[in-house]
Amino acid sequence: MNILAFESSCDETSASVVSFDGGTSRGRILSNIIASSVELHALYGGVVPEIAGRAHIEAISAITYEALEKAELTLDDIECIGVTAEPGLVGSLLVALNFAKSLAYSRNIPLVPVHHIKGHIAANYLTDNVPTPPYTAFVMSGGHTSIIEVETYTEMKTIGYTRDDAIGEAFDKSARVLGLTYPGGAEMDRLAYEGNPNAYKLPSAAMRDGSYDFSFSGLKTAVVNLVHNAEQKGDSVNRADVAASFTKTVCDSVNKKLEEVYTQRGIKSLVLAGGVAANSHLRRVIGEFCKKHGVEVYMPPLSLCGDNGAMIASQAYYEYLAGKRAEPNLNARATSLF
């Protein structure tokens, strides 16, 4: 079965064709075209929703042609359409959602709505080393930070999440105050290698109330204050030391919550997902955690960590098998946890 899927929840417009052979076999990516408006947002240091929405509408037709062309298929070969319906920026989500609805309606192709976070997790089914539910997933991105117990391909329960900012937001805003270009996560990753991780003491993002939750706003604000206070005194911070100390604090916070989940609920295998899962320091620390406890670990390749249509096609396939179909009044939702 060939699935054409769309993603437009933030600042990446993506169309992808993924082919499935049946059963729970992994999908084969035939095309995964991504158009990003990130350069337009870099001017403002963060995503500007209206600019993102307009960029999606400009890109979506062309990338759909491109995705079909690269897959060497036409719409006649498409048996299912998948689309991100929630959560995300509504003005962004609506673009791909409306496009997918119209395409599905006009060609009489089944339409499957996909939850963005489930899509990130499903990116792992497109790799050579495929996890099989049940397992624990840790989703970390610009908009999300969730520890999730994945029961089946479609049923899952969030056991921990962020009470305020997402982990990627903390990376991007810390990077911005250090003068790095938006989105600064990848540059923070590199810069952290050049600094002393013990130079600055920063507040943990791990909640201390018995939950598996995080709070990244205190850590983010501490970095902003550190830099601003130094500037006000006419001093400057060592940027690499800040990046290294911030990264160490993030890694320690994540490690602490994973230790608690492991001790109290058990983790058989751990699956990483989302843009921040590309962070090399987190990959190392989480890899060490899994090795220490004999937990199997799955990390998607960097190309499938960020937002892309193939991960939406992957989840759409399992939702399709479970019988999920879009209602005619399907709408976008800005927030939704499960």
Structure tokens at 215: 């709070």
Kindly tell me which of 78 and 178 has the beta carbon lying closer to ligand KG4. Answer: 178
8 Å CB contact between 174 and 250: no
For 36, counting Cβ atoms within 10 Å of its Cβ (0-12 exposed, 13-18 middle, 19+ buried), the class is middle
For Zn ion, the closer of residues 161 and 200 by Cβ is 161
Options 16, 307, 311, 314; binder of Zn ion; rule CB under 5 A: 307
Number of residues engaging Zn ion in binding (CB under 5 A): 2
Q: Where are the alpha helices (DSSP H) in the chain?
A: 38-42, 49-71, 90-107, 116-122, 167-177, 185-192, 217-232, 239-264, 280-293, 309-321
Q: How far is CA 183 from CA 50, 57, 89, 151, 251, in A?
A: 18, 22, 17, 33, 19
Contact of residue 278 among Zn ion, ligand KG4, none (CB under 5-8 Å per partner type): ligand KG4
Candidates 87, 131, 142, 195: give the one binding ligand KG4 (CB under 6 A): 142
Instruction: Please name which of 61, 84, 56 lies closest in space to residue 141, comparing C-alpha atoms.
Output: 84
CA–CA dist 253, 179 (Å, integer): 25
Binding letters toward ligand KG4, positions 189-228, x by CB under 6 A = x---------------------------------------
Please choose, out of 25-33, 34-42, 94-102, 183-191, the segment that lies near ligand KG4 by the rule CB under 6 A: 183-191
Near Zn ion in 112-151, by CB under 5 A: 141
Work out which of 18, 78, 177, 278 binds ligand KG4, going by CB under 6 A: 278
Distances (CA, A) of 293 to 132, 161, 267, 297: 19, 23, 9, 11
- Dig out the tokens for 21 from the structure: 């052979």
Candidates 45-53, 139-147, 155-163, 321-329; binding stretch for ligand KG4 (CB under 6 A) = 139-147
Which residue, 78 or 248, has its beta carbon nearer to ligand KG4?
248
Q: Residue 237 Cβ, how far from ligand KG4 at the closest point, in Å?
A: 19
CB of 25 to ligand KG4, least distance (A): 25
Stretch near ligand KG4 under the rule CB under 6 A, chosen from 75-83, 145-153, 178-186, 208-216:
178-186
CB distance 302 to 278 below 8 Å: yes
Cβ closest to Zn ion, residue 165 vs residue 307: 307
Which residues in the 292-321 window bind ligand KG4 by CB under 6 A?
306-307
- What is the C-alpha to C-alpha distance for residues 59 and 206, in angstroms, rounded to an integer? 39
Burial class (CB in 10 A: 0-12, 13-18, 19+), 57: middle
Binders of ligand KG4 among residues 148 to 177 (CB under 6 A) are 168, 171-172
The footprint of ligand KG4 (CB under 6 A) covers: 10, 141-143, 168, 171-172, 183, 185-186, 188-189, 274-276, 278-279, 306-307
